[in-house]
Amino acid sequence: GQSLEQPSEVTAVEGAIVQINCTYQTSGFYGLSWYQQHDGGAPTFLSYNALDGLEETGRFSSFLSRSDSYGYLLLQELQMKDSASYFCAPLSGGYNKLIFGAGTRLAVHP
Amino acid sequence: EPEVTQTPSHQVTQMGQEVILRCVPISNHLYFYWYRQILGQKVEFLVSFYNNEISEKSEIFDDQFSVERPDGSNFTLKIRSTKLEDSAMYFCASMSGLGGANTGELFFGEGSRLTVL
C-alpha cells in the first residue's frame, strides 16, 4: 500500500525559517515532489527530488533521503504570501502517478 | 507560457444527471490526469491517461466515471450519474514526460467546481 505523513499545521512569523517534513511509503518510487496550494487555487509545483540531497530554488529548498523514505521542504525568509497548504507527493508507478499527502497548512504571521 | 485550461469553471447539476468536464492539456505533454478535491480536504488522484488509454485509476474512479481524449487536444472527464458526494473541485493536470524524463512536475488547470444538488 501507500502511506504519506506530514504535519497538518505549522505556524511561523515573517522572516523565519520553517521545515515541513514528509515520510512516505510507496512502491515503485521515483522521487518526491512538493506543491503549494493557496485557498481556492490550483496546486503549483515547487520542487522535485529524484536523488538524495538538497535541491535549492530561491527561498525554498527540498531534501530527500531515499533510505529513510523521508523528505522535507524548507522555506526561508518567510513572507505573508507563503501562507498556503503544502503537499508532498511521491512520484511512483510506471506512468508517473503522483499521490498527494493530506497537506500542511502554513500560517505566516507578522 | 503554456497552460492547462479547464471548462466550465463552475457547474451546478441535479443528482443523477450526467456531467462532462473538459480540459485542454499543454500541447506536447504525454501524461494526463484528473484529480479531485472535496472542500477542505486533500487532492485525491482519480485517473492517469497515457498513450490514449487509462494507465492507472484509483478506487474512487468507479464505473460512473470515464475519460476520453477524443480529438488529440481535449481531455474529458464524464460522470454518468452524479451523486451528492461528487461535489468537489476537479483538477486536470498534465506532465511532459518527453524523452522519458520524470520531473515530478504536474501542470494543473484552475479546476472545475462541481456542485451536485
What number of H helices and E strands is found in chain B? 0, 11
Interface probe, candidates A3, A29, A37, A97, chain B, greatest B C-beta count within 10 A:
A97
| Residue of chain A whose alpha carbon sits nearest to that of B4 | A42
Tell me, what's the pLDDT at B63?
93
Taking CB atoms and an 8 Å cutoff, what residues of chain B touch A38?
Answer: none
Taking CB atoms and an 8 Å cutoff, what residues of chain A touch B97?
Answer: 96
Inform me whether the pLDDT recorded for A63 exceeds 80.
yes
Place of cell 536523488: A51
Cα B20–Cα B24–Cα B26 angle in degrees, nearest 5: 155
Per-residue pLDDT of chain B (117 residues), as tens digits, is: 779 999 999 999 999 999 999 999 998 898 999 999 999 899 999 999 998 899 989 999 999 999 999 887 899 999 999 999 999 999 999 998 776 667 788 999 999 999 999
Which of A61, A46, A52, A41 minimizes the C-alpha distance to A98?
A46
- Kindly give, in sequence order, each residue whose CB lies less than 8 Å from that of residue B95, ignoring residues fewer than 6 positions away: A96, B29, B30, B31, B33, B103, B105, B106, B107
Cα A81–Cα A82–Cα A88 angle in degrees, nearest 5: 150
Using one digit for the tens of pLDDT, what is the confidence trace for A22-57?
999 988 888 999 999 999 999 999 999 999 999 998
Chain A residues bordering chain B (beta-carbon distance below 8 Å): 30-33, 35, 37, 41-45, 48, 50, 87, 89, 91, 93-103
Query: CA-CA distance, B55 to A93, in Å (whole number)?
Result: 10
Are residues B37 and B46 in contact, defined by beta-carbon separation less than 8 angstroms?
no
Interface probe, candidates B6, B105, B107, B110, chain A, greatest A C-beta count within 10 A:
B105
Tell me, what's the pLDDT at B99?
65
